[in-house]
Chains A and B, each alone.
Chain A
Amino acid sequence: MYENVMKSAERFKARPLGRDQKIGGMKQREDLLFMKVEQEQAVPFITWLKELGGFGHLVLFTAVDFIEQDIFQITYLLHSYEQHHDIVVLVEIDRQKAEMESIHHLWPHAATYQQELFEMFGITFPGSPRLYEDFALEGWQGPPPMRRDFDTKEYSEKTYFPRPGRVTHDPATYMKEQLYPGEAQTW
């Protein structure tokens, strides 16, 4: 399995994030593989995975805003029922030109993910059905709220009548001081 995918990955210029490589300081599961692929090769690669690689199930489809590198990382999580194996395809796209090929022709339900991604991140998927319709936010008029340059606190304060007198405590200190003063040492 692994070899098979790797062989084709070369064709699509997909780069595995090595199995032994620790991501976030933890060892990966045996049945999970991360692949990084260029934007142009992403959909062909996913198509190959679906049609020939046996990864018939689109489990998850989301995006991460790496504002520091000025990219959106799009994440496709695929699953193969035959091999009991997951594969994560990571694609980085330009944050300034947030546009990605649609995969709704592979999985119809991907259209809904894309609708959500458009609403939350402003990533467009040309040709995706109902892309510009409201998904979760009815009549949202601000910038896409999940972009990290969108200041939700400021927006909230501006929009939702903050009640004055709100105090924020650090839970650990607050607990120590207020609730369990005698047991402070046990913490």
Chain B
Amino acid sequence: MVSPIYAIAIPLGAAFLLPLFEKAGKNAAKALVLAILAALTALPVSWLVVWIVNTPNLAGLLRVSPLAVDTGGFPAPISIRLAAGIGEALVMALVNLTAFLGITHMLVRSQAKPTGKTLVLLLTLVTGVNGLILTRDLFNIFVFLEITSISTYALIASNGSKRAYEAGFKYIIAGSIASSIYLVGVIYLYRLTGSLSLDHLPRSGGTAIALMLLTTALLLELKPFPANGWSLDVYQAADPGISAMVSAVGASGVLFVLYKLTPLLSPTHLRLIAGSGAVTFVFSQVIALRQTDVRRMLGYSSTAQIGLMLLVIGSGRGTIPTIVLLGLLLGNHMLSKAGLFWVTDLIDGNRTIASMSDSGSLPALARNKPLLVAMIGILLAALAGLPPFPSFWAKWHLVSALVPNGRWLLVAVVLGGSLMEAGYLFRWFTRFTKASEDPGDVHQERIPADVPVTTRPQTGTVSSRSGKEALARQAASTAAATQATTQTIPQVVRQAEQPVEISGSPVPTIIATLVLVFGGIAAAVGFLAPNQELILLVPLAVLLIGALLDTLRIPSKIQLLLGMLGIGVYSWLLLPSLGGIPLVFGLLFLVGGLLQMIALMQRKGHQPGLAVLVSTLLFSLGNLLFVQSRLGFFFSWELMSIVSYLLIVRGRAASGAALRYLMFSLGGAYSILVGLVLLPTGFAPHATSSLWAGILLGTGFLIKIGTVGLHIWLPGAYAEAEDEVSSLLSSVLSKAGLFMLFTTAGLFIQPLLRSVPGVTLAYLLGWLGALTALAGAFLAVFQEDIKYTLAYSSMGQMGYMLLSFALMTQLGWINSMYLAVTHLLFKTMLFVAIAGVVHRTGTRLMYRMGGLISRMPVSFFSVLIGIIALSGVPPLTGFGAKWMLYTALIEKGWYLQAGMAFFASAIAFLYLFRLIHTIFLGQLKDEHREIREAPLWYLVPQLIAIIGIMLVSMFPNLLIKPLEMAIAGYFPQTIAWQGSTLVSTLGYWNGNAVMYVTMGVFLVPLVWLLATRRKHNQKVRQFNIVYSAERPDRPQTTHYAYNFYAPYRSALGSFLTPWATRFWKRVLSVVRVVGSSTRRIYSGDGQTYALYVLLYAIVLMLLLRGGN
């Protein structure tokens, strides 16, 4: 094995010799630098390889004896010892790799190539960091600290701009203070113990203050909040390549030193470190939320990440060794952060990318360079801790280490901070997908002005004398106006389509991304393998294969066919092994998903990401069906969330909605994470556990269901996603939360209070379900946008499912699943039919449609069946659901909930009639006179769903009996069958007989009318109406559609206030205000910063005293 000394000697020597090489030729110097860094990367990797080959398991690997070199030939206390253990090797490999990539990046970019001086400084920096990692001597650490710091100042200032000099100067001041404190600490320690070797320092008391001085200095070097103002200008002022190095490489050395110190530190020290980390983490995130400059935002994010790692160091041992956790976080942070800095460097034509506010050219970028944007997405996902990237696993293990120790504050900090981080990172990401029209908030959806669509004059009567002229004049003016609009539109588009150039080569960034991806997959394999759950990685494999197909630009139809084939095979293999509730939901997810994919086949050409994301989503839903371990479940759940986010964000104006979806999903996921950790017996069906686990898990699932109060994401996500995707989301994905509720039902049946046995979590869920049903219905009534109507309708229907589930009776559960299945069918019909309508008419506003029954009869029929099934009117399936719901509710004694549910179902009539009337009935508009029926690919799933609905309506026991079997054994039997009559303790229902009677009573008047109105029954057209002996002027003014239920609105008044939206807005604004006001402590003044640094040190010391 190669001695670690070379890791310091080579770069240091090369740094001195570099000017000489430069004489030989610029390229020679560059080649030398790269070669050295490659070698430095290879060195620790070679150690790692040797160790891994020689040791059988992980535990052994951690105990491997470090590679130690005593310089000068003396033993340790006298000489300086360099030691490289597994941790050192890991961190060194990462540091050098990042440095290698970073320098490569700077060398291959087109402008501001690094000069020889910069290269020397960079090499020195790397030397310093390597030294920090390897050395075991405290004074030697000081030396390397100084080397690192000085090279950093120089690097920052090398930009040459005024701001850079200022930033560098502030850095020097703060760094000097920190160094001084460190030096004082070293001197004090030496005075107390007579040794500076880490391996020989006594682990006993008496050295607390000295160690505290060291710790404080190191903490200060790590830029803790609030003493970090001096460091932040760097990110904005310096060259992004250098920012990347400083952010990714510089800090890691110091961090590792702190880690090396931990064996010496007392719990108080550690608590202080953890506290400092936590404060830094959370406040940096809050401030980052308010940043308008992306690099500064990334800078805050770096600070926050360092804080998180401090927290890891300070919080002690967890389920896996700290060093592994640290390695995961550090690697993740370094590569993703450096990658992001490089990206901002690459696309920096006019600094548009770096600005959060003005980003008009980003969508163009997404169109022109989809791969680049995909890469940014991957880097952001890694940074935000989404699966399968390393920090995801680190987050899981960190939380599972914190929760059992009861460190709730730290848990809250970690999760809250992560949520905020994901928020601002993806807020930036959505800029790439942002269309010119983003509705932003769901309750203020913008209704575009109704532009005149005909060139016909609008006056009813025209005078005889000048009529013709007036007519001609009007026509001319309208035509001119139309022309003007058609002329302006391309201009607007052209303005938005600014070309975006990439300056330099993205190869280093790509390598970083790939390393992250493979590291993530390796971590996934590593963490999932112990539970034998590698099969959970199937969605990831699908994602990779799909991404490959996408890069090859395979047409979407073929991709979809492949996906359908894959899902078919998967279902074929998976479903027979399932039983009971998972089988029901398996059919729902997979077969329902297949049904949805048919509609997607309508897409022509290559739709980047569509097929792959849909397939991955369905596979990850499949994961939920059989997953056993908590980690595996959490992994699958998060994967599902992020994939569905990516699907939603594809929508034309979906960026705001998608971001809301992501935020709520992640919030829910974090709630689930804590809940899962609280489950003592691990994640298994029907595990019983503490109340809190139930509440937290329940909250997570309720967010996915879109319960009232937590539904803010729902309408936008369903409505703004692409039309066919909405159908998938609403009819398939929304059931995931429900399925998980079923799976963890045991959590919800314990009483909340011992004294009131009836009041369980399930009881609360019941009320929530009833409220959701009512709120969803009410919100749906007053929408002008058809997809918002359907989205809120989905929310209401999920409310019924939740209510039925919460009953915890046989009939309730049967009904919940019955609703889930039928909702899949009729929502497919509705959403896909509406997708067809929107596709043909080009608008989503209902009042702009009308009279389409004559043009799109099949879609009309499908919507008709859909709304009858949804509303619960016999004889279609909906009635079965209503019957079971009320029967079960009354049997259980939930009378008020039953009343509420009934009211909700009556309200549902309002929006359903509005839906079908304003689109299909009424007056046909001129511009729709020639449109055709929806495309065939849309009709096929509708027809399949209609057949399904009709079958279940005709023979309800086809569905109810299997459902009854699926939950057999959970509850006492309360229903019985008499032939095809379903008998409960309260009443009975014979779906078959109802169907026959209905058909009978329908046929009698039909035959009568057909017979008596056979002759002289004139079919008239749309304007042949009684119009007070006048004629309608235009279809637009004759179609009663806008603000359809105005009386209801005025009757209900303030009852309709969107309380939930208001609440979440308030939360958001509070966070923003905190961010803004916290940011004020950064005055931008070097003296103030120095004062902060000193004060910080003093406060830490005081806290230490207090701690003792």
Q: Answer whether A and B touch in the complex at a CB cut-off of 8 Å.
A: yes
Query: What mask results when residues 451 to 471 of chain B are scored 1 for a CB within 8 Å of chain A, else 0?
Result: 000000001011111100010
Q: Are B461 and A138 in contact (CB under 8 A)?
A: yes
Q: Please give the distance in Å from B460's CB to the nearest CB on chain A.
A: 10
Q: Are B461 and A132 in contact (CB under 8 A)?
A: no
Closest to A133 in B: B463
- For A134, the chain B residues whose CB sits under 8 A away are 461-464
* Alpha-carbon separation in the docked complex, A99 to B593 (Å): 77
A141 is an interface residue with CB less than 8 A from chain B = yes
- For B461, the chain A residues whose CB sits under 8 A away are 133-134, 138
* Alpha-carbon separation in the docked complex, A134 to B459 (Å): 12
Closest to A135 in B: B463
Size bin of chain B's contact surface: under 10
* Alpha-carbon separation in the docked complex, A140 to B470 (Å): 17
Q: Please give the distance in Å from B459's CB to the nearest CB on chain A.
A: 8
- For B465, the chain A residues whose CB sits under 8 A away are 132
Q: Please give the distance in Å from A96's CB to the nearest CB on chain B.
A: 19
A139 is an interface residue with CB less than 8 A from chain B = yes
* Alpha-carbon separation in the docked complex, A134 to B467 (Å): 9
- For B459, the chain A residues whose CB sits under 8 A away are 133
* Alpha-carbon separation in the docked complex, A133 to B465 (Å): 8
Q: Which of A132, A140, A141 has the most CB of B within 10 A?
A: A132
- For B462, the chain A residues whose CB sits under 8 A away are 133-134
Interface residues of A in 137-176 (CB under 8 A from B): 138-141
- For B464, the chain A residues whose CB sits under 8 A away are 134, 139-141
Q: DSSP majority for the A interface? A: loop
* Alpha-carbon separation in the docked complex, A131 to B563 (Å): 69
Q: Which of A133, A139, A140 has the most CB of B within 10 A?
A: A133
Interface residues of B in 428-483 (CB under 8 A from A): 459, 461-466, 470
- For B463, the chain A residues whose CB sits under 8 A away are 132-134
Q: Please give the distance in Å from B462's CB to the nearest CB on chain A.
A: 7
* Alpha-carbon separation in the docked complex, A101 to B470 (Å): 22
Q: Please give the distance in Å from A20's CB to the nearest CB on chain B.
A: 46
- For A139, the chain B residues whose CB sits under 8 A away are 464
Q: Please give the distance in Å from A160's CB to the nearest CB on chain B.
A: 20
Interface residues of B in 68-105 (CB under 8 A from A): none
- For A140, the chain B residues whose CB sits under 8 A away are 464
Closest to A119 in B: B463
Closest to B465 in A: A132
* Alpha-carbon separation in the docked complex, A141 to B463 (Å): 10
* Alpha-carbon separation in the docked complex, A141 to B465 (Å): 9
Q: Please give the distance in Å from A98's CB to the nearest CB on chain B.
A: 15
Closest to A138 in B: B461
* Alpha-carbon separation in the docked complex, A140 to B461 (Å): 13
* Alpha-carbon separation in the docked complex, A132 to B465 (Å): 7
* Alpha-carbon separation in the docked complex, A138 to B1029 (Å): 15
* Alpha-carbon separation in the docked complex, A163 to B358 (Å): 82
Closest to B464 in A: A139
* Alpha-carbon separation in the docked complex, A140 to B464 (Å): 8
Q: Which of A132, A138, A141 contacts B466 (CB 8 A)?
A: A132
* Alpha-carbon separation in the docked complex, A128 to B465 (Å): 16
* Alpha-carbon separation in the docked complex, A139 to B464 (Å): 6
* Alpha-carbon separation in the docked complex, A187 to B1067 (Å): 94
- For A138, the chain B residues whose CB sits under 8 A away are 461
Closest to A139 in B: B464
* Alpha-carbon separation in the docked complex, A84 to B463 (Å): 40
- For B466, the chain A residues whose CB sits under 8 A away are 132
Interface residues of B in 328-358 (CB under 8 A from A): none
Q: Please give the distance in Å from A140's CB to the nearest CB on chain B.
A: 7
* Alpha-carbon separation in the docked complex, A141 to B464 (Å): 8
* Alpha-carbon separation in the docked complex, A133 to B466 (Å): 8
Query: What mask results when residues 2 to 24 of chain A are scored 1 for a CB within 8 Å of chain B, else 0?
Result: 00000000000000000000000
- For B470, the chain A residues whose CB sits under 8 A away are 132-133
Q: Please give the distance in Å from B473's CB to the nearest CB on chain A.
A: 12
Query: What mask results when residues 97 to 137 of chain A are scored 1 for a CB within 8 Å of chain B, else 0?
Result: 00000000000000000000000000000000000111000
* Alpha-carbon separation in the docked complex, A122 to B78 (Å): 121
* Alpha-carbon separation in the docked complex, A134 to B465 (Å): 9
* Alpha-carbon separation in the docked complex, A138 to B460 (Å): 12
* Alpha-carbon separation in the docked complex, A170 to B463 (Å): 41
* Alpha-carbon separation in the docked complex, A138 to B464 (Å): 8
Interface residues of A in 53-106 (CB under 8 A from B): none
Closest to A140 in B: B464
* Alpha-carbon separation in the docked complex, A141 to B467 (Å): 13
Closest to B466 in A: A132
Q: Please give the distance in Å from B1031's CB to the nearest CB on chain A.
A: 13
Interface residues of B in 707-728 (CB under 8 A from A): none
- For A132, the chain B residues whose CB sits under 8 A away are 463, 465-466, 470
Q: Please give the distance in Å from A59's CB to the nearest CB on chain B.
A: 27
* Alpha-carbon separation in the docked complex, A3 to B464 (Å): 48
Q: Please give the distance in Å from A118's CB to the nearest CB on chain B.
A: 10
* Alpha-carbon separation in the docked complex, A139 to B461 (Å): 9
A-B contact pairs, 16 of them (CB 8 A): A132-B463, A132-B465, A132-B466, A132-B470, A133-B459, A133-B461, A133-B462, A133-B463, A134-B461, A134-B462, A134-B463, A134-B464, A138-B461, A139-B464, A140-B464, A141-B464
The 8 closest A-B pairs by CB, nearest first: A132-B466, A133-B463, A134-B463, A132-B463, A139-B464, A132-B465, A134-B461, A141-B464
Residue ranges of A at the interface with B (Cβ–Cβ < 8 Å): 132-134, 138-141
Known: A134-B462, A140-B464. 4 other contacts (CB 8 A): A132-B470, A133-B470, A134-B461, A134-B463
